[in-house]
Amino acid sequence: MEDMDVTKVCSCCKIPKELNDFYRSKSGKFGIKAICKICERDKVRLYYQNNADKLKKYSREYSKNNRNIINNRLRKKYQTDVGYRTEFSLTQKLYYEDNKVKKIKKQKRYYKKNREKRINYHKEYYKKNKEKVLKSVREYRRNRL
């Protein structure tokens, strides 16, 4: 018997296509969707363009309401997936290099704006942790020479 390529007609563009040109779907004929991948992508893209504000709002609310779940998922992925970890660290390094000047300017503005606050914080910290501070200063001086 000859091998016949099984084709299906897309219900959207009406073009006969091979079965691997359709996404899988348990409810569809042959276990695939009625619309081909290209038409499905166009349909999704059009839906996003028409409902961008609604989808962005939903995404923001979901992120806000499920912050712990999202953070735990990312933390677990970072710990288990070496490829993700290296990509993440590379992305962080590139961002830092691209925004180094901007970040330094922002830090300087912060320090100027919050000078008194920082001075008071350091004074309070010194009062509460005097022994700890003096110990670290002595250790620093010892190791410096």
Residue 39 lies in a domain: yes
Residue 82 lies in a domain: no
Radius of gyration of the chain (CA): 29
Residue 81 lies in a domain: no
**How far lies 128's CA from each of 52, 70, 115, 121, 134, in Å?**
52, 37, 20, 11, 12
How far is residue 85's CA from residue 112's CA, in Å, rounded to a whole number? Answer: 36
pLDDT of residue 2 exceeding 60: no
Is residue 38 exposed (0-12), middle (13-18) or buried (19+ Cβ within 10 Å)? middle
The tens digit of pLDDT for each residue in 21-48 reads: 999 999 887 789 999 999 999 999 999 9
Tokens of 97: 């290099």
pLDDT (0 to 100) of residue 18: 92
Which domain range does residue 33 map to? 7-49
Residue 118 lies in a domain: yes
The tens digit of pLDDT for each residue in 73-129 reads: 999 999 999 999 999 999 999 999 999 999 999 999 999 999 999 999 999 999 999
pLDDT (0 to 100) of residue 53: 97
| Domains identified in the chain, total number | 2
Residue 2 lies in a domain: no
pLDDT (0 to 100) of residue 28: 81
Supply the pTM of this predicted model. Answer: 0.51
How far is residue 101's CA from residue 111's CA, in Å, rounded to a whole number? Answer: 15
Residue 32 lies in a domain: yes
How far is residue 4's CA from residue 9's CA, in Å, rounded to a whole number? Answer: 16
How far is residue 74's CA from residue 77's CA, in Å, rounded to a whole number? Answer: 5
Residue 20 lies in a domain: yes
Return the sign of the alpha-carbon dihedral for residues 121, 127, 133, 137: positive
Tokens of 145: 């020479």
